[in-house]
Structure 1
């Protein structure tokens, strides 16, 4: 398999899980409006239960679709489900960690944090999925380079679609 294609194929559930809360989110914040001991919100209004579970569902479903499109890559539906679920969960947890850090730094909701926004979800997704299936180091390095560009492009797209109030 082409290494560039494999890298994108592997990480697709994480990409979808990370981006879908923009469309599927809203509702009750995950921190229920509570503040941390520093007096700032734990996560903020942008991290909602609906967005989290929506992202987890979308990311996992992407893995199921991938399995039916290319079953030989996974070997079994069970492996595809586990991998997609862990990539999606890792991406969402990485994003939550990023929000927690941004609140500690007193950055407003939606404010860009270069590196943290682009690599936090990716690195967390790769770590969560590591026990189930890995990709070669070269492909991980490729994803570390291209993900910030993809992240920027999808944010601009979401802004132009009216799904986000800022283009970052």
Structure 2
């Protein structure tokens, strides 16, 4: 497979897991409204259980679809599900860490944090999936360059679809 296509194919579950809570989220916040010792919310209203588990389900499902389309990529359905689950879980945990940091910096919900928003979920996803399957360093570097652009385009799209109240 072409290295650029391989990088995109590998990271697809993470991209879908990162974007789907915008559509599937809402409901009970993960932090249940609780505050950290600094008096600020732990994560805020934007991080919900429905969004977290919805993102996990969508990202993992993408791995199943990938296996059906290109079974030789993962070799087995078990590996496809495992890698997609870990990429998705890493994405969502990375996003929660980013939200936690933004709350500590007293940034309001939805406020852009350049770098943290674009690379936090990606780096966490790559770290979570690393023990099972990874991609070459060049492909990781490529993803570090293109993910901020893709992230921005996805946010503009979500804003135009009225899924987000701000285009970032």
TM-score by length of 2: 1.00
The residue number in structure 1 matching 2:67 is: 67
Once the two structures are TM-superposed, the CA of residue 63 in structure 1 deviates from its matched residue by: 0.2
Q: How many residues are treated as equivalent by the alignment? A: 168
Segments of structure 1 that go 5 or more residues without pairing to the other structure are: none
Runs (4+) off by over 6 Å: none
Name stretches of at least 5 consecutive residues in structure 2 with no aligned partner. none
CA distance in 1, matches of 2:15, 2:106: 26
**Which residue number corresponds to residue 91 of structure 2?**
91
Provide the C-alpha distance between the structure 2 equivalents of 1:167 and 1:75, rounded to a whole number of angstroms. Answer: 39
C-alpha distance in 1 between matches for 2:118 and 2:49 = 21
Determine the structure 2 residue equivalent to 1:125. 125
Mapped partners of 1:78, 1:60: distance in 2: 11
TM value normalised by structure 1: 1.00
1:126-155 deviation line (CA, Å, top 9, x unaligned): 000000001000000000000000000000
Matches within 5 A, 1:79-158: 79-158=79-158
Alpha-carbon separation, structure 1, partners of 2:47 and 2:140: 27
2:7 match: 7
Alignment partner, residue 29 of structure 1? 29
